[in-house]
Amino acid sequence: MKTLSLEGRMTLVVAGSAIVGALVFAGVSIWPFPQLVAWMREAPAKGGKLPDAVPVEFFDGGTALMICLLVLIPLSVWVAHALVEPLRRLVRALESAVASYRDGDFSMSIGTTRRDELGDLIRMHNALGQTLRDQRQHLAQRELLLDTVVQNTPVALVLTDAADNVTYANIAARHLFNEGRSLAGLDFSTVLATMPESLRDAAASGEDALFSVEMEGSEETFHLSQRGFRLQGRPHRLQLYRRMTRELSRQEVHTWKRVIRVISHELNNSLAPISSLSHSGAELARRGDLARLPGVFASIGDRAKHLHTFISGYASFAKLPTPQARAVPWGPFLDALGLHASFRLASAPPEQPGWFDTTQVEQVLINLIKNAHEAGGESNEVTVAVHAVGRETLIEVSDRGPGMSETVLAQALLPFYSTKRSGTGLGLALAREISEAHGGRIALANREGGGLRVTLVLPAGTP
């Protein structure tokens, strides 16, 4: 049950103090203090006996006030102490609790039996402490789980501060850089000085990199990821060294299997008809039916031409020459491109010339425009747009076909991946190789309202 509030208590104290003050003043100036003083004066004259009637001399106001002050001031001090002391103890307890919270100790709570606002404050404080204790316990459990995961991951993790000193390293990092010993507090640049040159160069680049090193008599390939961020207001750098040898070997085997399947399929599709047509031609020649032989030979030539085109595509992908970039005015380049492929220019090209290998980029755009026409949309909806954005040039080839599913988008740039029955899966892969050889990239995205947009991103201007 809740007692009086602080405001109610202070009202009672003030009212009681006023009543006590009035009573003291009346007692000093009217009764009984004047009578007591008079009796004390007359008592010695009567042999120590109190007289029956004593003339009373009342005190004037100043004297009465002085006497009241002498009585009330000590009483006020005592009452004030009685009122303030519980508040002082509470404030000291709260100060101690706040200091404990500041030091990370949330175990302190304050006991109370009060049922007023101060009691409510104390109980809220205790509830806050319990909440902080629970949160800290949960945080400690999560940190323990995270540390366990990080320590036991096969990826070597190294965290360094602004002075390049190691502040954290997991077990894989200790085995990779320091033979299993702790790296904490060491100068990471000094540690790297003992590592192979390819690893040092990759770490010094400050960017993601793929490199190989000789380890235990065999070559190991690593992927390095580097990120800078601020931890507790101070700059730090996180480096992740991931062994890629097994994954690359698995992908290499998978790729070779896919290549073999594609080549076997194409060879069988061409060689089987050629074999059949050759047999038919020999039979026609034996029978003397020479009129049908030109058609047989033409069919054999078509299949041989298809096989030659297929092999040439693989050869061009495998033997892509280094790009010979130069300044290319957009007007003449797009006019020449229009002679090989049909498209509509979506916007005026930039005045600043591009910087790329004309032959290679033209080959890429011809393939992209061909794919756009084969997507199934309207021919006049196949567009090309060139934009200069900062230090990059964006060449966009767009169509209004059905677009691509998320699965196809994720794999369309992989070599030998194709959704077409007669596709080799090299068109977009070759476009990717050429764009990356120029220091750029290629991106695919579905358009709003239907269709696909392929964006070729190239560096603008002289490197």
**Domain chopping of the chain, boundaries:** 6-124, 153-243, 250-318, 326-459
Q: How remote is the C-alpha of 425 from its chain's centroid? A: 34
Q: Which of 55-59, 295-299, 347-351, 391-395 shows the lowest per-residue confidence on average (mean pLDDT)?
A: 55-59
pLDDT class for 54, splitting at 50, 70, 90? very low
The whole-number pLDDT of residue 168 equals 92
Residue 373 has pLDDT above 50, yes or no: yes
- Provide mean pLDDT across the span 416-442: 73
In degrees, to the nearest 5, what angle opens at C-alpha 276 toward C-alphas 267 and 291?
130
- Provide mean pLDDT across the span 362-375: 87
Between 73 and 456, residue with greater pLDDT:
456
CATH for 326-459 is 3.30.565.10
Between 323 and 113, residue with greater pLDDT:
323
153-243 to CATH, choices 3.30.1540.20, 3.30.450.20, 3.30.420.40, 1.20.120.530: 3.30.450.20
Best CA proximity match to 145, nearest among 137, 156, 154, 133? 137
pLDDT class for 279, splitting at 50, 70, 90? confident
Query: Does the N-terminal peptide bond of residue 323 adopt cis geometry, omega within 30 degrees of 0?
Result: no
Question: What mean pLDDT is reported for the chain?
Answer: 79
The whole-number pLDDT of residue 442 equals 87
Report helix, strand or coil for 181: coil
Residue 113 has pLDDT above 50, yes or no: yes
- What's the pTM value of the predicted model, to 2 decimals? 0.41
Residue 156 has pLDDT above 80, yes or no: yes
**Burial per residue of 219-231, b for 16 or more beta-carbon CB atoms within 10 angstroms, e otherwise:** ebbbbbebeeeee
Residue 273 has pLDDT above 90, yes or no: no
Q: Which of 34-38, 127-131, 159-163, 203-207 shows the lowest per-residue confidence on average (mean pLDDT)?
A: 34-38
pLDDT class for 53, splitting at 50, 70, 90? very low
| CB-count exposure of residue 22 (10 Å: 0-12, 13-18, 19+) | exposed
Kindly state the helix (H) or strand (E) to which residue 156 belongs, with its residue range: strand 156-161
Q: Name the packing angle between helices 427-437 and 358-374 (round to 10°).
A: 150
Q: Which of 54-68, 151-165, 313-327, 349-363 shows the lowest per-residue confidence on average (mean pLDDT)?
A: 54-68
Most confident of 16-25, 152-161, 204-213, 438-447: 152-161
The whole-number pLDDT of residue 318 equals 59
Q: Which two tokens stand for residue 174?
A: 């200790």
pLDDT class for 29, splitting at 50, 70, 90? low
Q: How remote is the C-alpha of 436 from its chain's centroid? A: 26
